[in-house]
Amino acid sequence: MRVFLGLLLSVLMLMPGWAQEAEAAWRATVTGQIVALRDGDAEAALSFAGAGFRAAYQGDPQRFADDIARSGYAPIATSRSHSFGAFRELAPGVVVQSVELVDKDGRVWEAIYQLADERDEGWRVQGVVLRSTSGIGI
């Protein structure tokens, strides 16, 4: 019985480390895509997107970046900073992550990223909802 409890405790102690690693991985994906968009690197930005986006824009990553700008998501590409807020796991391998963005004029935006841990690809952006907030960035 003690051996079982010891093993159970060991597994439970490892879980927070795994969760932190997963969180760091999906946050790296979000940051990678934001930085790529800021730098005008459409190919890199598309590489962080989910399989559906990559298939739809295959061979034309610039159209992906242009569509982001035309669809009202330009504040992501023109942001000067971003920080992570709360996240929620929707299902195993699927999370939503809140990201606060400050644009070049100091306006604050909230982006809600949905990410999935895609087989052989790692965490990829499945979609984003963006809204302006009443805050002012410093």
Q: Each residue of 2-42: pLDDT tens digit?
A: 444 343 334 334 445 446 788 999 999 999 999 999 999 99
**Separation of alpha carbons 44 and 115, rounded Å:** 17
Q: What is the pTM assigned to this prediction?
A: 0.83
Structural domain boundaries in the chain: 2-136
DSSP-assigned beta bridge partners for residue 114: 96, 127
Which amino acid makes up residue 108? Answer: V
> Mind listing the pLDDT tens digit for each residue in 79-119?
999 999 999 999 999 999 999 999 988 999 999 999 999 99
> Mind listing the pLDDT tens digit for each residue in 34-60?
999 999 999 999 999 999 999 999 999
Higher pLDDT, 135 or 78: 78
Pick the CATH number of 2-136 from 3.10.450.50, 3.40.50.300, 2.130.10.30, 3.30.1440.10: 3.10.450.50
Helix (H) or strand (E) holding 134: strand 122-136
**Separation of alpha carbons 14 and 22, rounded Å:** 13
- The three-class DSSP label of residue 74 is helix
138 — pLDDT class (breaks 50, 70, 90): low
- What's CA 7's distance to the chain center, in Å? 34
Tokens 């960035």 belong to residue: 137
DSSP collapsed to 3 states, 25-40 = HHHHHHHHHHHHHHCC
Per-residue pLDDT at 1: 46
